[in-house]
Chains A and B, each alone.
Chain A
Amino acid sequence: MPNQSGNVYGLTILSPIIDGADGNVSHDCAIRDYLADLPRDHRSPFAKVSSTHLARLVVMDDVVFVGTPAREEHLQSKYLVFETNFDGDLDTYLTRMAREAPDEVHAVWRHCVGYPGVQDPAAFAGYMKQCQIETTFFFADVNNQTVQQTLRALKVQSGLAHFIEANQGKSAGDTQAAFRRFLEKIRRAPEPLAGEYEGHPHGAAAGLEDAGKLDPLASDYEGHPHG
């Protein structure tokens, strides 16, 4: 199925935006205003729908005129483009959006034609499917690992680099004992947060200069110079 690559689903949705005004602003501007302030880190609605790898929302104002001799033409409606890459099946994902991020979903899609609300997740899923355009060709570089597996692997990778650095020059016995503690620490570590800038809660908005210093796995290895 062209919408899917391995375990990853590539959903493309075009939701027609209501023509006219929502109070003092047009509906498309209202969507843009709302999205401009929506958090992009672990507080994002897509972090709540935690099977999301990458997602975007775009107000498509019109098609593009590429110049003569091509014909100039225009859309009758503006469309909200929702492009997302997630683990699992479509119904589960759309239902999770309605259940786990209802406020944000409502704030965006209430400006779209035919939007039924999120009170009935099945109705919302049905509406979204009406707006779905089948992906013609979908490429996923890694298509056999979930978001959580990837976040965890990234944590282990950075933790191992610190572990090796911290244990250079130690005896085999000491390294073995430290490695056992390292494994235990990995296994007991809490699930990493999706969208997080590694311990820097406001990374997406801030400068991120110190983000790496707050990595919880990296901070407390025995013998680590910064531990």
Chain B
Amino acid sequence: MTNINGKTYAMNAITPMNAFYTPILKLVFFILGHVKSLQADLIHLSFIHFARWVVVKRRQFPRLSQKQPEEQLHYDYLLFFSNFNGTWNQYIDAFADVLSNGLNLIWRWSAKYPGARPVTDFKRYIALVQFDTDYYYAAYPRATANDVKAAHRVNAAVEEFARNSKDMTPAEFGAAYLKFVTLVQMDLGSTGIGPVGS
């Protein structure tokens, strides 16, 4: 499936929104962007590499030629793009469990949004508004978001240990090496192919 490359899933969704609500939603995003503590749950979920919401106003669809027909839309549209690890069901379940209030704040302005809970209605809505990806590229397809963060911690620890242990005697090195291995051991899981998802 083209929605998946390695361990990452590309989700696209589009929902219609009354233009009247667009400024409110933009204000919500402005606050979310400037109050970092409000992003804590999103960060702690830790299986999203990158995600974005894009509001396209009804007259904002690019028109590059007079020959191109002008869009005649009633609604503004909210586009959502996510790059996450795991299966579609895991993602929606976790989103609905952990971020239901945040999701409701973002999508409640979209037409016929049922709310993030109960999750069955929410999944039905997402399945309706999702569209598939034709081409998906990942620079590090075998690594999850957690793998990436762990790798950077290991890399920093190796550099620091290399600096600190440079002039140690073998006995000093032995003791320091044990501490180093204890420090990094939780971050040494290997990357690889993911389970088959749906």
Contact of A195 among B77, B141, B174 (CB under 8 A): B141
| Cβ of A105 under 8 Å from chain B | no
Contact of B53 among A130, A136, A164 (CB under 8 A): A136
- The number of chain A residues touching the other chain, given as a range, is 35 or more
Task: Find the A residue at minimum CB distance from B28.
Answer: A137
Q: Are B192 and A157 in contact (CB under 8 A)?
A: no
**Cα–Cα distance between A149 and B141 once the two chains are bound (Å):** 15
Q: How far is the CB of A86 from chain B (nearest CB, A)?
A: 9
Q: Are B188 and A164 in contact (CB under 8 A)?
A: yes
Q: How far is the CB of B44 from chain A (nearest CB, A)?
A: 11
| Cβ of B35 under 8 Å from chain A | no
User: Secondary structure at chain B's binding surface: helix, strand, loop or mixed?
Assistant: mixed
Q: Are A142 and B33 in contact (CB under 8 A)?
A: no
Stretch of A63-71, A91-99, A117-125, A219-227 contacting B (4+ beta carbons < 8 Å) = A63-71
**Cα–Cα distance between A47 and B60 once the two chains are bound (Å):** 31
Q: How far is the CB of B57 from chain A (nearest CB, A)?
A: 9
Interface residues of A in 7-22 (CB under 8 A from B): 8, 10, 12, 14-16, 19
Q: Are A161 and B152 in contact (CB under 8 A)?
A: no
Q: Are A139 and B16 in contact (CB under 8 A)?
A: no
Q: How far is the CB of A114 from chain B (nearest CB, A)?
A: 3
1/0 per residue, CB under 8 A from A, across B101-142: the answer is: 000000000111000000000000100110111111111111
Q: Are B62 and A15 in contact (CB under 8 A)?
A: yes
Query: Can you report 21 A-B residue pairs in the complex whose CB atoms are below 8 A from each other?
Result: A2-B33, A12-B54, A14-B62, A40-B5, A52-B137, A54-B136, A57-B133, A64-B131, A70-B16, A73-B73, A76-B68, A81-B12, A83-B12, A127-B64, A136-B26, A138-B50, A141-B148, A150-B151, A153-B152, A156-B151, A161-B189
